[in-house]
């Protein structure tokens, strides 16, 4: 028996944007599974399943073949690093920007070693290094905006959509680190062993997002 093609989907906003995209190409979770708390969802196609996991775990599942394909933000991919899977398609969904932000009126300094709070440690180190700044990076998992307010950090690096949360906490974005959108990634072995199924799905998704 051939196992279904498994597609790992990131929980949260990306999932909300991804399911309508797959619905446009005729793939949707069964009504029973979508309403459940299951982490593996059957779809209206017997040859496709969705796996619902944390965004940061999607590259790992795809790299090791637990999922044939995955949908995850570019921020997660860059932070994860490496080239252990293919990244053939920008889905143009869940768009936002990764920004440096500070208390309003302050700017990054090059004469001192700034302390930067973020969950994107690798990206932040690389960004400040390119500027010739040796930053001290403090890893946090949430509520980044609090760090400058209590003196934990001079700056933060985080995803920004509207900027309203920054503004509400007296912060402002100062520099763009990178543009972010969700990408489709493919396990290298799956691309070879299930080439027809994978490329067919890719072709349909390209048509939906307007790529040639």
* Per-residue pLDDT tens over the stretch 26-77: 999 997 766 678 899 999 999 999 999 999 999 999 999 999 999 999 999 9
The C-alpha atoms of residue 182 and residue 75 are separated, in whole angstroms, by: 9
* Residue 71: partners with Cβ closer than 8 Å, 6 or more residues away: 7, 8, 9, 10, 14, 18, 58, 91, 182, 183, 184, 185
Domains of the chain: 5-94+181-209 (3.40.190.10), 96-179 (3.40.190.10)
C-alpha triplet 48, 49, 52: angle, nearest 5°: 150
* Per-residue pLDDT tens over the stretch 9-30: 999 999 999 999 999 999 999 9
Q: 3-class SS at 35?
A: coil
Q: What is the pLDDT of residue 107?
A: 64
* Per-residue pLDDT tens over the stretch 68-121: 999 999 999 999 997 899 999 999 999 999 999 999 977 655 557 899 999 999
Rounded to two decimals, the pTM is: 0.90
Query: Is 163:104 a contact under the CB 8 Å cutoff?
Result: no
User: Residue 138 pairs with which residues in a beta bridge?
Assistant: 117
């Amino acid at each position: 028996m051939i196992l279904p093609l498994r597609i790992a989907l990131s929980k949260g906003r990306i999932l909300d944007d991804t399911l309508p995209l797959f619905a446009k190409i005729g793939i949707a979770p069964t009504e029973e599974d979508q309403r459940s708390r299951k982490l593996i969802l059957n779809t209206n196609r017997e040859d496709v399943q969705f796996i619902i996991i944390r965004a940061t775990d999607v590259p790992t599942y795809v790299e090791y073949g637990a999922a044939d394909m995955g949908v995850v933000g570019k921020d997660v991919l860059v932070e994860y690093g490496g080239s252990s899977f293919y990244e053939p398609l920008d889905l143009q969904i869940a768009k936002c920007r990764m920004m440096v932000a500070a208390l309003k009126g302050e700017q990054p300094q090059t004469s001192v070693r700034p302390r930067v709070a973020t969950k994107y440690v690798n990206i932040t180190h690389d960004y400040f290094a390119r500027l010739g700044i040796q930053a001290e990076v403090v890893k946090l998992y949430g509520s980044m905006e609090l760090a400058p307010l209590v003196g934990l950090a001079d700056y933060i690096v985080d995803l920004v959509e509207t900027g309203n949360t920054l503004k509400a906490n007296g912060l402002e974005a100062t520099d763009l680190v990178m543009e972010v959108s969700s990408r489709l990634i493919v396990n290298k072995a799956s691309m070879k062993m299930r080439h027809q199924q994978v490329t067919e799905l890719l072709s349909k998704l390209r048509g939906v997002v307007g790529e040639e």
